[in-house]
A and B are shown apart, each in its own frame.
Chain A
Amino acid sequence: MDGILYAIAIMALGGVVLGALLGYASTRFKVEGDPLVDKIDSILPQTQCGQCGFPGCRPYAEAIAKDEADINQCPPGGDENIHKLAELLGKEYKPLSEEHGIEKPKQVAIIDEKVCIGCTLCIQACPVDAIIGAAKQMHTIAEDLCTGCELCIPPCPVECIHMVTVVDTPDTWKWQKPGTASRVIPIIPVMATIQSEHA
């Protein structure tokens, strides 16, 4: 009799412990959305330009995950991203599909504030709220938020938005791989005539 009671108690305890564990696991390892879509989306450049044929990066990521779109349709991501997607998905690399566009250096939009009539059409087009302004007031673009998607260009009735290529600053400039031609030759420490000793 005692044995049965023990068995019941142990089973009950086990149930409680396992239940708690499961509960913990479900909050601890909760996944929001599809993890594969998230992974693909994290590779995509988030320009939100729609050149891939989808209304933004996430929809394209979803289509790739469902195998409904190819991996070479995103011009802003370019070659590098196609390689990353190919690696992630175990697919073969293929060059950027020309019909979707060409890879360009990063650009940002600039509003000619002298011409802007404050119509707010560009604000409505901008996928990342990078344009600041109110109706009938001149608008400006927050340069560091602009993804360069060009979606604000066609709606502007006075054609006052232009794309400019982002130029390097000393802070964003990158060292080139040795052996590639570069403008500046960093001095290499060679005093070959000098004996070097190890300390």
Chain B
Amino acid sequence: MKLFSFKGGIKPDPNKTQSTVLPIAQAPLTSRYIVPLHQSVGGTPRPTVQVGERVLKGQRIGEADGWISAAVHAPTSGTVVEIGPHIIPHPSGLATDCVVIEADGRDAWIERTPFDLDQAEPDAVRDYLRDMGIVGLGGAVFPSHVKLSVPRGKQVEQLIINGAECEPFITCDDRLMREQATEVVQGSLLFGRLLNAGKVLIGIEDNKPEAIAALKEAQQQLEAPLEIVTVPTIYPTGGAKELIRVLTGKEVPGSRRSTDFGVQVFNVATVQSAWRAITYGEPLISRIVTISGAVGEARNWSVPIGMPINVLVKLAQPRTDMDGVIMGGPMMGFRIPATAAPVIKATNSLIVHAPGLFPPKPAELPCIRCGSCAQACPQELQPFELYWWSRSAKFEKLENYKLFDCIECGCCDFVCPSHIPLVNYFRFAKSEILAEQREQQIADAARERHEFRQERAEREKREKAERLAKANAARKAEGKDLSAAALSPSPKTAPANDPDAAPDISSHPDQASTPISMDNHPVLDATAKQAAILAATERARLKREKHAGKSRDTTH
């Protein structure tokens, strides 16, 4: 097969052999699992369990919120002891809501039923995968079912299964391909079938001969109609856009979806876990994690999602001078804020850090505009320009230099003779731009709602005036007094097109929308107010007593 190449890239020391010697080991059961509800790109799943509830291994504990979202499940059987914020492995160091499960030690599965593919509509398959929590395990954790729906009129010519694993230190996909080659091949075929793909290609870097051999053997045994393609080892070949380029020669711009060009990419572990979900009814409750770096025994572990990282790392006999843990690889990873954080679906690798493992980065020097970064950039960007405008916070300029095409691979950092932390500048600029867009959206929505409200107030004023005028005319004509007219029921004025958002004020005796100060409020004079407050506090007390003992987390 003819291969293409992308511009740039680097060849860092792979540091992979340490962790590929030993086979994947099963992490032993621990006492507590912390399962974050929000583990994939998209909506935050709502908890479907309550504190005190007993759960079984594989039971759904959080259900997908919207189309771009994926369910989360209990990694073992036990009791839900808490639903609340815990620090997750994220560069922000912030906490998000997690379901904490105290294991009962039985590790008892929920009933598992295989999914009948032949009977199912394509939509049902996607819903099923969403409810089984299948997301991209290469690190991007994008819900897989979303990527399995191809836009109307588009055809997937090539389905690429990504086994390149180009980042140094990480070997979880390598070991998976060696040990579960049959499942990887079957998963690849499954996705090929779901996408009705013209061709299925598994791309692997040539530094993994054992994985390539294992896959080829599995392919022969299964007589699988797919191609296993060996690609040269150049970082970052494992980037989706780069692998597409190498295997198909197609160039996908940053702002476009690869399906627009007839290509879709999934990671090897993703297709394997999806295949297990379909074949055995097993949701995604564990993943393979490489533990490497300053440890006595570097290897891969099969780890339940939610296992605290400090418990896991202990199994690898970390050096006594360990001073942190990096999640991901040395190029794209980050130091986790607290080792009590749990393993999540995005945790492909943990590098135990100790002094001397990575030499400290020398101080940043001014950019000499040598152009090395641009030569190394696989996305053909000009990092020094991006750097210049990010640093001076002239974000509007960055669009011209395609900031959002940057995949944060770190090649530019790696080669920069001035040791400029370029990627961090780009991350800073990206998050500022995204925050500004978010704020603008919120402001626009507020403006719209405010204008809508003002229009309504105007209309109400007009209608009131009209009613009064009518009443006056009627009174004049019939000699009646105003009170009869005033007693007639007022028309409902709350807008009908927005029943949830618009407050129901129709039953209020005074419909003016302008703020009313307490002093001249027409309804509540001082004594009435006092009585209302007393009644309200009494009601509140009764309600509190009634609800005492009930779970507090039902409103979430």
Residues of chain A touching chain B, judged by Cβ–Cβ distance below 8 Å, are 41, 44-48, 56-58, 114-117, 119-121, 123-135, 142, 144-145, 147, 151, 154-155, 157-158, 168-179, 183-194, 196-199
A residues in contact with B353, CB < 8 Å = 187
- The answer to whether A191 and B540 have CB atoms under 8 Å apart is no
Q: How far is the CB of B49 from chain A (nearest CB, A)?
A: 22
- The answer to whether A178 and B533 have CB atoms under 8 Å apart is no
Interface Cβ pair total, 8 Å cutoff:
202
- The answer to whether B96 and A124 have CB atoms under 8 Å apart is no
Bound form: Cα–Cα A179–B544 in Å: 50
A residues in contact with B419, CB < 8 Å = 190
Q: Pick the contact of A151 from B360, B452, B515, B536 — CB < 8 Å?
A: B515
- The answer to whether A115 and B540 have CB atoms under 8 Å apart is yes
- The answer to whether B501 and A188 have CB atoms under 8 Å apart is no
Bound form: Cα–Cα A171–B509 in Å: 43
B residues in contact with A116, CB < 8 Å = 536
> Given A128-B449, A129-B449 in contact, is the A155-B518 Cβ separation under 8 Å?
yes
> Given A132-B503, A145-B501, A198-B10 in contact, is the A186-B424 Cβ separation under 8 Å?
yes
- The answer to whether A170 and B88 have CB atoms under 8 Å apart is yes
With an 8 A cutoff between CB atoms, is B413 at the interface?
Answer: yes
Bound form: Cα–Cα A128–B518 in Å: 21
Q: How far is the CB of A194 from chain B (nearest CB, A)?
A: 4
A residues in contact with B124, CB < 8 Å = none
Q: How far is the CB of A199 from chain B (nearest CB, A)?
A: 4
> Given A124-B514, A196-B12 in contact, is the A132-B446 Cβ separation under 8 Å?
no
> Lowest 7 CB-CB distances: which A-B pairs, in order?
A173-B92, A117-B536, A46-B446, A174-B431, A46-B443, A175-B427, A128-B449
With an 8 A cutoff between CB atoms, is B33 at the interface?
Answer: no
Bound form: Cα–Cα A155–B517 in Å: 6
- The answer to whether A188 and B512 have CB atoms under 8 Å apart is no
Q: Pick the contact of B13 from A154, A186, A194 — CB < 8 Å?
A: A194
- The answer to whether B501 and A121 have CB atoms under 8 Å apart is no
Interchain residue pairs with CB less than 8 A apart (13): A46-B444, A48-B446, A124-B514, A144-B442, A155-B516, A155-B518, A157-B518, A158-B536, A170-B90, A170-B94, A175-B427, A191-B330, A197-B10
Bound form: Cα–Cα A133–B504 in Å: 6
Bound form: Cα–Cα A173–B337 in Å: 14
> Given A121-B521, A178-B424 in contact, is the A196-B503 Cβ separation under 8 Å?
no
- The answer to whether B508 and A120 have CB atoms under 8 Å apart is yes
Bound form: Cα–Cα A40–B382 in Å: 34
- The answer to whether B91 and A186 have CB atoms under 8 Å apart is yes
